[in-house]
Amino acid sequence: MKAEIDNWFSDNYYNVLEITTAWVYKYGRTVEPDVVVSNCYLYLVKRSEDMTKDDIPKWAFSYINTELTYSKSVTNYASDKLNRKHEDIDTIPYIICDDFTDEIDFKILLNDFRTTLSRVDQIIWDVYVEKGVTTKRDLAKHFNIDDTSAWLYMNEIKTKFKEYVETEERL
């Protein structure tokens, strides 16, 4: 299937890029259109076993539209964070240092939060954060449980994390 995805992107790259550029402008996003298209390609390759050849364009444009429509999507969040960094700081060394410091603080926060969890919640958290299993279906498949239970576990752990972040004084 990867070969078919490669062929489709090779044949339609400029068309997809043109449509993505129009959507970036329409939604007022600051992300580069080629980054969205690249992320789309990676997403499709990762999900290639779930689709057929005819599904490729549907999945591609659905992914691009979703990434540009929602302000908290992976693409928009990364682009907004980068833009916020560049507004205040003019030199590269400070950006690298600031990113490194933010990353260390975030890792410490994640580790501190993990210690507050029960053993079961720690296992779910590790699969969610460390292994990157972030959808209910993938979590259900990983633990061999039903989708509803996986969704409930994910929401419970996210709620606990949000409450922890809100009550954490050093933030």
For residue 81, tell me if it sits in a domain. Answer: no
- DSSP assignment of 73-92 equals SHHHHHHHHHHHHHHH--SH
Q: Residue 37 carries which side chain, given as an amino acid letter?
A: V
Domain that holds residue 95: 90-167
User: Hey, what are 25's tokens?
Assistant: 């402008």
Identify the three-state secondary structure at position 154.
Answer: helix
Q: What is the pLDDT of residues 78-115, one digit of tens each?
A: 444 444 444 443 443 434 444 445 555 667 777 788 88
CB crowding 128-152: b at 16 or more within 10 Å, else e: beeeebeebeebbeeeeeeeeebee
Residues of the chain with pLDDT > 90, as a percent, come to 0
Q: Is the pLDDT of residue 143 over 50?
A: yes
CATH number at residue 116: 1.10.10
Q: What is the pLDDT of residues 56-88, one digit of tens each?
A: 888 888 888 888 777 666 665 544 444 444 444
For residue 85, tell me if it sits in a domain. Answer: no
User: Hey, what are 55's tokens?
Assistant: 């599904």
Q: Are residues 44 and 13 in the same domain?
A: yes
Q: What's CA 55's distance to the chain center, in Å?
A: 22
Q: Are residues 129 and 154 in the same domain?
A: yes
φ, ψ for residue 164, nearest 5 deg: -65, -45
Q: Identify which of 114, 140, 137 has the alpha carbon closest to the alpha carbon of residue 125.
A: 114
Q: Identify which of 104, 69, 101 has the alpha carbon closest to the alpha carbon of residue 85.
A: 101
